[in-house]
Amino acid sequence: MWPRGLPFGLYMAFIALNSLGHAVASWIPCLAAAEALWPLWLYPLKIVTVFIALGLGWGAYTELHTPLCRSLREGIMSAGVGI
């Protein structure tokens, strides 16, 4: 069960950490100037961490192992309908 829950939990933890960073910056005046930089380094860290968690649990995502389209024609038609 952890391969499905861990990436979501990590993503939610980073959202909470971002909110906590903004709250702490509003309480501590010397951090107020750096508040704008907080998301700039937190976002790449969030993406890399969640990507690694997804990669570690890739074997459990059996529904993603089947091909999306059976042929090139079907893929082009699907993209056309989507557009």
56 pLDDT band, cuts 50/70/90, is very high
6 pLDDT band, cuts 50/70/90, is very high
Q: What is the DSSP letter of 70?
A: S
pLDDT score recorded for residue 83: 94
pTM: 0.69
Three-state DSSP class for 83?
Answer: coil
pLDDT score recorded for residue 31: 67
32 pLDDT band, cuts 50/70/90, is low
pLDDT score recorded for residue 52: 95
Buried b (16+ CB within 10 A) or exposed e, 17-47: eeeebeeebeeeeeeeeeeeebeeeeeeebe
**Alpha helices, H only, the chain:** 2-27, 38-56, 72-82
